[in-house]
Amino acid sequence: MAYLLDTHTFLWFLNGSDDLSAKARKAVEDNRQLNYVSIVSFWEIAIKISLGKLELGISYEELQLQTIKNGFEFLPLTFEHSAGLIGLEFHHRDPFDRIIISQAIVEGLTIIGKDQNFPKYPVKLLW
């Protein structure tokens, strides 16, 4: 199985946060699974840092190193991912989450995330 970590899942994992469910942590730590972090998550993080809405405790550049160190794959944004947005219902208005949902649908990935709106979409979800 292959997973796509939602932005908060990625950050909570890196921070060792108790907010991450035991089931989610186990899936992320299982090195037999392929775990992706969307480039969209890095875009979201960079914007939130620049707006003063997020402090990481590490440099932004360190995120890239931590992604590699933890064996996560970067998921680029493709034309197909953006095209997937066209038919996506507006249960969720957050543009970052919408593209992550589209990426999961297009790539057949299970999202590891806690967002209440994700179950409203035809995606596999683990939490």
Percent of the chain with pLDDT over 90: 94
- 3-class SS at 126? strand
With beta carbons less than 8 A apart as the criterion, state whether 9 and 3 touch.
Answer: no
The end-to-end CA distance of the chain, in Å, is 15
Model pTM greater than 0.85? yes
What was the pLDDT predicted at 61? 94
When pLDDT is cut at 50, 70 and 90, the band that residue 31 belongs to is: confident
Domain with residue 85: its CATH number is: 3.40.50.1010
Q: Which long-range contacts (CB under 8 A, 24 or more apart) does 43-47 make?
A: 43/96, 44/7, 44/96, 45/7, 45/11
What was the pLDDT predicted at 92? 78
Structural domain for 63, as ranges: 2-126
Which of 20, 1, 18 minimizes the C-alpha distance to 10? 20
Tally of domains in the chain: 1
CA distance 4 to 99: 12
Query: Do the bridges between strand 2-5 and strand 34-38 make them parallel or antiparallel, or are there none, so unpaired?
Result: parallel
With beta carbons less than 8 A apart as the criterion, state whether 8 and 114 touch.
Answer: yes
Per-residue pLDDT reduced to its tens digit, 45-94: 999 999 999 999 899 999 999 999 999 999 999 999 999 999 999 887 89
Q: Is 71 left (phi over 0), alpha (psi -120 to 50) or beta?
A: left
